[in-house]
Amino acid sequence: MLAFLPLYQQAILSLAAMILFTSFVLLAQNGVLAIIHVFAWQGLLVAVTTAFVAFDSGAGHLYFSALMTITLKVIFIPWLLHRLVRRLGIDRETHSVERPARVLMSAAALVVFCYYVAQPIQQYSAALTRNTIAISMSVVMLGMLMLITRRKAVSQVIGFMSLENGLFFAAVSATHGMPMFVELGIAFDVLVAAVIFGVFFFHIRDSIDSLDVGQLNRLAERDE
């Protein structure tokens, strides 16, 4: 089946699998800098996939999306986070994953679940990349899982960004991208989010002396 597809379409599928793999790695990764690097790699993979899809479908605006992904998610945001982490002095810190085996197992279950959910959707899509819908959904889900399982703010932000990667990838693979305006809007949202997060890190640390968001529950009004 696969053998009859042109090579660049095979490449799209392989890249999709690699994007999924980076999501798994993000889930299990401990070091702060390593997480940022993996995120950059994921962005690069998404960008390359987008370029391939653009070539496959002839949708010229996707090249622009790819370029934007590279500047934003491969270069700018990782650079910003890198700088933040340095300035906050937490580049040596490890954000240990609690019970990595359990997290990975639930991740696996999520992927199977996404596949189950995506199967009916796939039938409505005519694109050759429809098989990747399940993958992109999985990337979204794994991003959410990362948001849930991490305690430190930086890795949560990465989880959020990776979730956004999944959404973007879903748009690219299912419908050959969203309209340009929407895409631009989202891109700027992400950009602004990254900057605001950066500012917030300092504030969080100033107010609770840590970037552990588990500590934020101290801000809740409770009777103790």
Partner 1 sequence: MSHHLFVQMLAFALGGSLGSALVSLVADRYPRVLSRVAFPALAVAGAASVTIGLEAILTGGRFAVELPLGLPWLHWHLKLDPLAGFFFSLIGIGTLAAGLYGPAYCREFRHGPYSLAVLGLATGLFIAGMQLVVLADDAFAFMIAWELMSLSSYFLVGYQHQNAANRRAAFFYLLMAQIGGLSILLSFGVLAGFGHGFTFEEMRAAPLSLSWSSIAFTLALVGFGAKAGLVPLHAWLPEAHPVAPSHISALMSGVMLKVSVYGFIRVVFDLIGSPHWSWGVALLIIAGITALYGVLYALLQNNLKRLLAYSSVENIGIIFIGLGLSIIFYGTGQHLLGTLGLVAALYHSLNHMLFKSLLFLGAGTVLQRAREHDLERMGGLLKALPWTGLCFLIGCMSISALPPSNGFVSEWVTFQTALQATSLESGVLRAVIPITAAVLALTGALAAACFVKVYGVAFLGLARTRRGRRCTEAGPGMVGAQGMLAALCLMFGVFPTATVTALNHIVTDLTGHALTAATANGWLWLTPISSDTASYSAPLVSLGVLLSLAAWAVVYLVLRPGGHARMTRGDTWDCGFGPLNARMQYTSTAFTMPVQRIFKPFWDLREEVEREPRNGLPQEPERLRHQLHVDDISWRLLYTPVVKLLHATTRRVGRIQTGHLRHYLAYSFITLILLLWIIT
Partner 2 sequence: MKIWALALLQSTAFVLLAPLFAGWVKWVKCRLQNRRPPPLAQPYRDLWKLFGKEALLSHNASILFRIVPYIVAGATLLAAAVVPLLAVNLPTAAIADVIVLTGFFALARFFLALAGMDVGTAFGGMGSSREMTISALAEPAMLLAVFTLAMVAASTNLSTVIEQVLSDGLVLRPSLLFALLAMCLVAVAETGRIPVDNPATHLELTMIHEAMILEYSGRHLALIEWAAQLKLMIYGVLIANIFFPWGIATTPTPVALLVAVAAITAKLSILGVLLATGESVLAKMRLFRVPAFLLLALTLGFVGLLSHIILEIR
Residues of the shown chain interacting with partner 1 in the complex, contacts defined by CB under 8 A: 99, 101-102, 108, 112, 115-116, 119
C-beta separation of 35 from 150 below 8 A: no
Collapse the DSSP code of 93 into the 3-class scheme (helix H, G, I; strand E, B; otherwise coil) and give the result: coil
The verdict on 110 binding partner 2 (CB under 8 A) reads: no
C-beta separation of 188 from 65 below 8 A: no
> Which of 2, 126, 219, 220: binder of partner 2 (CB under 8 A)?
2
Distance separating alpha carbons of residues 224 and 217, to the nearest angstrom: 13
Furthest C-alpha separation in the chain: 66
> Which of 68, 88, 104, 193: binder of partner 2 (CB under 8 A)?
104
> Which of 72, 111, 139, 157: binder of partner 2 (CB under 8 A)?
111
The verdict on 100 binding partner 2 (CB under 8 A) reads: yes
Residue 31 binding: pick among partner 2, partner 1, none (C-beta 5-8 Å cut-off by kind) = none
**What token pair was written down for 162?**
């990776």
C-beta separation of 45 from 19 below 8 A: yes
Residue 72, φ and ψ in degrees, nearest 5:
-80, -60
Q: How far is the CB of 141 from partner 1 (least distance, A)?
A: 15
Distance separating alpha carbons of residues 62 and 57, to the nearest angstrom: 9
Taken as a whole, the chain contains a residue count of 224
Residue 102 binding: pick among partner 2, partner 1, none (C-beta 5-8 Å cut-off by kind) = partner 1
Residue 10 binding: pick among partner 2, partner 1, none (C-beta 5-8 Å cut-off by kind) = partner 2
Q: Which of residues 125-164 bind partner 2 (CB under 8 A)?
A: 131-132, 134-135
What residue type is 48 in one-letter code?
V
Give the footprint of partner 2 on this chain (CB under 8 A).
Answer: 1-3, 7, 10-11, 13-14, 16-18, 20-21, 24-25, 28, 100-101, 104, 108, 111-112, 115, 131-132, 134-135
